[in-house]
Structure 1
Amino acid sequence: MKRFFLAFLFTGSLATAMAQSAQYTDAMTKQTSELDSSGTFTADGLQQKANTFERIADAEKSQWLPYYYAAYAQVMQALILQDKSQIDPLADRAEGNLDKAEALSPKNSEIACIRSLIATARLTVDPMTRGMKYGPEAAALLEQAAEFNPENPRIYMLRGQSLLFTPEQWGGSKSKAKTTLELALQKFAAFKPESSIAPHWGEPYTRKLLEQSQK
């Protein structure tokens, strides 16, 4: 009887865990699929997404992806804002989410890429005074991302973007950007996300950047 009772408890716990897992996957699938929508890429749309991912993270504290996507939405919001006074607070919030994500998934190339974007966002507040600090920091974080996973295409996309928008006297150029972005597309073609909700963003944007590098 005791053995039957324990088996019943185990089966019930397993069923509950599977239901929770399915609910989490369904919620994340919906939210991540909407990230590809142009309608999401407004300041308000990205803020709503960040808030939603944070709520999922609060409910699923053992999962790194909700924290990651919350930070992604926050840094993307920071990068499109016209009001520069809002950038640092958003960057702080994104870094806090990445700290939680990294505690669950250390040495993660995707997390390092978002940290690089955060450094870039901070730089845009005042490029003349912040460039010497955050430019090298953004580049170093991409180097770290490559150490963790050299096949991550977002590394090369972000490097290409930096080369495209950096003046030639500071090391940028369209020709260097073109070469790097072409490599990024090769990496995208070979890249297989770990799951349907794993990071997969960036390929359409890479193609747009490549077009700009050829003009």
Structure 2
Amino acid sequence: MKRLFLAFLFTGSLATVAVAQSAQYTEAMTKQTSDLDSSSTFTQEALQQKANTFERIADAEKSQWLPYYYAAYMQVMQAFTLKDKSQIDPLADKAESNLDKAEALSPKNSEIACIRSLVATARLTVDPMTRGMKFGPEAAAQLEQAKSLNPENPRIYMLEGQSLLFTPEQWGGSKSKAKTTLELALEKFAAFKPESSIAPHWGETYTRKLLEQSQK
């Protein structure tokens, strides 16, 4: 009876620890994801700090895909802000490494495919003339993959609209096409329900800004 009691006590203690860790994880992630649509987040310093923080959370919570995903998102966004193009590929490499870890935990994930599309786009910007033929189709293919996995994901259409907006017309870009796609993205955002409070929910604010640009 004493052994049985100790076994129950030990099991209960483990459950308590697990709940505490889960609460700590959610609290840390909520703090870091709450301002992902804020312009103050998109500076070199803030992006680097957030990427480092998400990686620390990932190291502590190795069974969770979201910290790896967000670390990759911060790293690729940092790549887009760089003036020194030689620094883009190393950041893209870090982002891809984190995405590989995220995908190992959550395969066939539409959100991860969206970030992979951004990574390909970042690599393209290093030298559009020589890299366009490789990374342009790769970025588009990742969005198609994302769409096949979850056609209701609004970030797919936001990224498609962004691509249409900033691609020259002779290469298939168009403000009018961008406008239509971005309006669809906003419809998807209005209907979208994140799986949890810390699941990907970013992008609607930026979509509205892109839509304004498409109408000028």
Matched residue type, 1:163: L
- Please state how far the C-alpha of 1:72 moved relative to its aligned partner: 0.4
Deviation at 1:206, TM superposition (A): 0.4
Displacement of 1:38 after TM fit?
A: 2.1
Could you say which residue in structure 1 is the equivalent of 2:214?
213
Partner amino acid, structure 2, of 1:48: Q
Q: CA deviation at 1:169?
A: 1.1
CA RMSD of aligned residues (A): 0.7
Please give the secondary structure, in 2, of the residue aligned with 1:63.
coil
Which residue of 1 is the match for residue 12 of structure 2? 11
Output the CA distance in 1 between the equivalents of 2:207 and 2:131: 26
Percent of residue pairs bearing the same amino acid type: 83
TM-score of the two chains, using structure 2 as the length reference: 0.98
Give 5+ residue unaligned stretches, structure 1: none
CA displacement 1:139-198 (0-9 Å, x = unmatched):
000000001111000000000000011111111101110110000000000000001111
2:34 counterpart SS class: helix
Question: What is the one-letter code of the residue matched to 2:61?
Answer: E
**Aligned 1:41-56 pairs, distance under 5 A:** 41-56=42-57
Alpha-carbon distance in 2 for matches of 1:53, 1:78 = 17
Q: Distance in 1 between matches of 2:188 and 2:37?
A: 19
Shift of 1:92: 0.1
Matched with 2:188 is 187
1:122-201 → structure 2 map (5 Å cutoff): 122-201=123-202
Q: Which runs of 5+ in 2 are unaligned?
A: none
SS in 2 for 1:172: coil
* SS of residue matched to 1:34: coil
Paired letter, 1:160: G
Q: Which amino acid aligns with 1:188?
A: F
1:98 is matched with 99
The answer to whether the 8 Å contact 2:65/2:106 transfers is yes
| Contact map agreement 2:37 2:203 (CA 8 A) in 1 | no
The aligned amino acid for 1:79 is F
1:33 Cα deviation after fit: 1.2
TM-score, length-scaled by structure 1 = 0.98
The amino acid that maps onto 1:44 is E
Number of matched pairs: 215
